[in-house]
Amino acid sequence: MPSYIAPVDDMMFLFEKLRDNKNYNELEKYKDVSPELVKDILEEAAKINQNLILPLAKAGDENPAILENGVVRTPPGYKEAYQKYIEDGWTSLSCDPKYGGQGMPRTVSAFFDEMISSASLAFKLYSELTLGAYNCIHHHATDEIKNKYLPKMVEGKWSGTMCLTEPVCGTDLGLLKTKAIEQPDGTYKITGQKIFITSGDHDLTENIIHLVIARATDSPKGTKGISLFLVPKFIVKEDGTVGSRNGISTGSIETKMGIKGSATCVLNFDEATGIMIGPKNKGLSQMFTMMNLERIVVGIQGLGISEIAYQNSLNYAKERKQGKSNNNKSESGKADSIIEHADIRKTLLNMKSIIEGERALCFWLSQQTEVSLNHDDQKIKQEALDMVSLMTPVVKSLFSDLGMEITSDAMQIFGGYGYTKDQGIEQLYRDNRITPIYEGTNSVQAADLVFRKLSTKNGNIVDKFMNLIKSETNSDDEKMKPFVDTLNYNLGILKKFSDWTIDKIKTNKDDVSAAANDYLKTLGYISLAFSWVKVLTVSFKDFEENKKFHEDKINTAKFYFEKVLPRAEQHYKSAISGSSNIMNFKFN
């Protein structure tokens, strides 16, 4: 089983030194969230993830969730761990105190998301979708619905799901067939089938609150006719207690490559009673409240799995003896630890520089997210929302793709042992493989970025992002100059790539489609460089306070700028070659 130590020191460095968003710091609701409080929270989070949740990863992989006589059974140990998990209040961390939550900002909860993703992604998913459903209900439902459903969800006694996908429609939700028939009492009867439903059924909570998209009988076809419904597994009585079983059954559990402890279900809705959330035919935009936040969390899943893969690779590289490095002067023939070999060191630094850059970028984005949700000034709120919209597909796609690179490299460092189940490294690869797929495949994210986010009704938000980078990375420190100059050079590449893409959208959309993933990665690698410059600004300024820590940061950043950031220009050069050969190629 892999070992794991939560990177609390790095997280606290970000919270103490990079909490520099003026608009975020104006939010009154978070004035009392001090570094001391956050450190206490993260240290407790580290304990439960390292000691209780980490062992569940192997248990869930070896004994997956099963469907038995119509009942979904979670893996051994899940029930007991979940009970402790909710008793300690982890489901309520970022929720509204009005409904029993602790009211912590995403600058804190994102760190917890990373930790639990490292410990056991399969276990995490049972509560993760609950928080997504909570956010959607919190934003769009009536006070009556909120008061009836949210307290139990915040407490963790009830869980939640997101039911979109059907056998006939995945990304193209306009094709959905699930129908909703209005009843005299204002409720709806929901009939249809949903597939790939994460945590769709299980034995951890006394009720499951499904958020289901369906089409009312008098609604138009396509996405314009989609509405959102709250459909509980068990009907909730007027007094808030659980009543009779609703018309929902589990058809099967998917047999998956990874995250086997998570029950991914086929759900059948047979005239199940549902309540419409928000206005009719506005369900897709309401569901995107949940999906957009969830996409950022998926990126954090990739980050979390990358972190545990890196930690175990580093430990193994220090212990494993194999061959002689070029610096080995031993006459006795003794082998070196593989960490002495240049290629292994390069691989480890690649992992480390990406992971720490991602964590810093996530922290920056979490501040923007809170501003977009909570600031009083609508202009400031919209500007932050633009940044969140731009970065959502980047974080989701880049972090999950790089998670595949890092877990693959971890297996390579372990060699043959990495390919066996004994070490648990191959499970990290398998568990992470879903992250580039669910919540919208990474190709869909890239298309969304170039066709919808590059230019919007609010203008060119990539230009706004580049201007923001320039304003936040100005420095008179000579030590910073090489990094800032390199970042500015790459911003020039991004500007050329953006102009090329906007032009091609008007003349040849196939060129844009073929370049979309390259554009996303160019933007992503430059965004990581931006986060590294912010880290470096602090490390150079505060170097004497903690020489060892800051020297580590500076040298890791140097590796990123020299060895990883050049990928941004490579993607640009590949993309602008166009799509003619691709589209004209004759497949046999």
Active site (catalytic) residues: 439
CA 549 to CA 552: how far, in whole Å? 5
CA 530 to CA 491: how far, in whole Å? 10
DSSP string, 397-433: HHHHHHHHHHHHHHHHHHTHHHHSSSSSHHHHHHHHT
- The phi, psi pair for 164, rounded to 5°, reads -115, -60
Rounded to 5, what percent of the chain is helix, strand, coil?
60, 15, 25
The residues pairing with 248 across neighbouring beta strands, listed in sequence order, are 269
Residue with tokens 């799509």: 579
CA 423 to CA 130: how far, in whole Å? 31
Please provide the distance, in angstroms rounded to a whole number, between the alpha carbons at the two ends of the chain.
Answer: 46
Structure tokens at 123: 């276990």
Please give the DSSP secondary-structure letter assigned to residue 282. -
3-class secondary structure, 195: strand
Alpha-carbon separation of residue 390 from 335, 370, 539 (angstroms): 49, 15, 28
Alpha-carbon separation of residue 536 from 357, 360, 365 (angstroms): 11, 11, 18
CA 432 to CA 445: how far, in whole Å? 17
Residue with tokens 């977009």: 372
Contact 241, 303 (CB under 8 A): no
Residue with tokens 């500015």: 488
CA 82 to CA 156: how far, in whole Å? 9
Contact 365, 19 (CB under 8 A): no
3-class secondary structure, 317: helix
Contact 370, 379 (CB under 8 A): no
CA 287 to CA 411: how far, in whole Å? 37
Contact 252, 67 (CB under 8 A): yes
3-class secondary structure, 401: helix
CA 326 to CA 328: how far, in whole Å? 6
